[in-house]
Amino acid sequence: MDCETEDTFLYANITNISEFGIFVRTEDPLEVGTRLTLKFAPPGEETVVLTGQVQWVNPLRMLSDNPNPGMGIRFLELTQDMRARLIEMVHTIAYIRNASN
């Protein structure tokens, strides 16, 4: 997934997605309140482009155990069609994960 702001470009790993938002695993999270453009391409699908805002940050802690540094991003300005597409993608991802276990 790509995350872009006016000043920053970040390639990051998605570790959790829902119809409301996404958790992006990164050791260099953006500040809470930052608006950004999210681009990701589910396997076999067209690229999805969404607007989001950083809601919370789990910072990297160098001297302690922190297995999930990153940031929680809330999707903004979703249309009904895009929300339905996200729900379908979430269900597909969950099905694929369950089938591989």
pLDDT over 60 (residue 54): yes
Phi-psi region of 83 (alpha: psi -120 to 50; beta: other; left: phi over 0): alpha
In percent, how much of the chain has pLDDT > 90? 16
The strand pair at 48-58 and 35-40 is best described as antiparallel
Q: Average pLDDT in the 42-67 region? A: 80
Q: Average pLDDT in the 48-57 region? A: 90
Name all domains of the chain by residue range, CATH numbers in brackets. Answer: 2-100 (2.40.10.220)
pLDDT, tens digit, for every residue of 62-78?
A: 766 767 788 999 999 88
pLDDT, tens digit, for every residue of 5-17?
A: 566 555 556 667 7
pLDDT over 90 (residue 29): no
